[in-house]
Amino acid sequence: MTEDWFSLFYEHMFFPLLNIVGILMTVLMTAALLIWVERRMVAILQDRVGPNRIGPLGVGQLLADTIKMFFKEDWIPSFADKGVFVIAPAIVMAVALLGFIVVPITPSIGVVDLNIGILYIMAITSLGVYSILLAGYSSANKYALIGGIRAAAQTIAYEVYMGLSLMGVVMLAGSFNLREIVNAQADMWFIIPQCLGFLIFTIAAFAETHRAPFNLPEAEQELTQGFHTEYSGMKFGMFYIGEYAGVVLASALITTLFLGGWHGPFLPPIVWFVGKTVLLILFFILVGSILPRPRYDQLMAFGWKVMLPLSLLNMLITAAIILW
């Protein structure tokens, strides 16, 4: 009787809780570490020194910046809408972390399996635009407001292409469940039959996470810092970490949807999933370091004139091949 109770407790309470805490802490630590990784990687690419004073390879700079952020004055402008101003950074953090609920890491690691996993991802990531729009509005600053409006238009537009690019994956797997999509790639990763969908989804992911070269909502040359111009201290830190957590989520989704998830020969499943995700994160940093930022009108025109037709074409060709 005692053994049955213990096994039930472990299976239904302890192991799921361990999964949730483990995934949450891993994502937060990875997002924080990426600040140092990006600085070192960009410095190497641009033939600069980068962080090198505190600790080996300057890794202690991350700890120093974290301590500074905790003790920096958390200032709220007197002209801001204080309630909305405070809650906006929390939304971007929550959205990035909630997306990992349906991402299957390995056959045994994951929080929950939803039959509508892809729809959940599209719905939860679309909420991130509210954080940026509310931050721009509540700051009562013209640069912040323009950044928020840019973010709203950019996110809404590129979410359309992101969703359409996944329809080919859904048709091939016959399911919206992310774990079933990974299992459907046991023999062949979807990046091969869905190379166009992979390209569209990856470009849309750059726009969704507002990473360079698509960081137009926070373009410092034009808008000083865009939607978080008036933010400081931990509130600014939440925006900063939330952006990197979004990059981790986007990389994990690309791994799950197009690169076979945990599938791979010889090595344990967790090694394959983490390895693919890390390579994609480094790819995000690399692209942002070498490509110039387009004008905002060029970004939107590229979306509606190029990305939309390509995503529709990919969906129609995939459907025609399946029917044939």
- Tell me how many degrees the CA angle 87-119-323 measures, rounded to the nearest 5: 160
Residue pair 121/102 in contact by the 8 Å Cβ criterion? yes
Neighbours of 93 (CB within 10 A): 20
Check pLDDT > 80 for residue 6: no
pLDDT tens readout for residues 170-209? 999 988 999 999 999 988 999 999 999 999 999 999 888 8
Question: What pLDDT score was predicted for residue 12?
Answer: 55
* Cα–Cα distance for residue pair 41/125, rounded to 1 Å: 27
Q: Using only C-alpha atoms, what is the Rg of the chain?
A: 21
pLDDT tier at 221, thresholds 50, 70, 90:
low
Q: Which of residues 261 and 71 earns the better pLDDT score?
A: 261
Question: Cα separations (Å) of 77 from 71, 73, 140, 227?
Answer: 18, 12, 9, 14
Going 116 to 122 to 125 to 126, the CA torsion angle's sign is: negative
Residue 183 pLDDT: 92
Quick one: average pLDDT of 299-319? 90
- In order of 24, 123, 246, the CA distances from 99 in angstroms are 11, 9, 9
Instruction: Give DSSP secondary structure letters for 176-216.
Output: S-HHHHHHTTSSS-TTTTTHHHHHHHHHHHHHHTT-TTS-G
Which pLDDT tens digit goes with each residue over 21-37? 888 888 888 888 888 88
pLDDT at 1: 47
pLDDT for 200 equals: 93
- What pLDDT is attached to residue 320? 92
Q: What is the pLDDT of residues 98-127, one digit of tens each?
A: 888 889 988 888 888 888 889 999 888 888
pLDDT number for residue 212: 74
Work out the average pLDDT over 286-295. 82
Percent of the chain with pLDDT over 70: 92
In the chain, what's the furthest Cα-to-Cα distance?
68
The pLDDT of residue 170 is 92
Name the one residue in this structure whose structure tokens are 């939304």. 91
215 pLDDT above the threshold of 60? yes
Question: What count of other Cβ atoms lies within 10 Å of the Cβ of residue 8?
Answer: 11
- Residue/partner pairs of 263-271 with CB below 8 Å, 24 or more apart: 263/182, 263/185, 263/186, 263/189, 268/106, 269/106, 269/107, 270/105, 270/106, 270/109
What is the structure's pLDDT at 217? 65
pLDDT at position 311 is 92
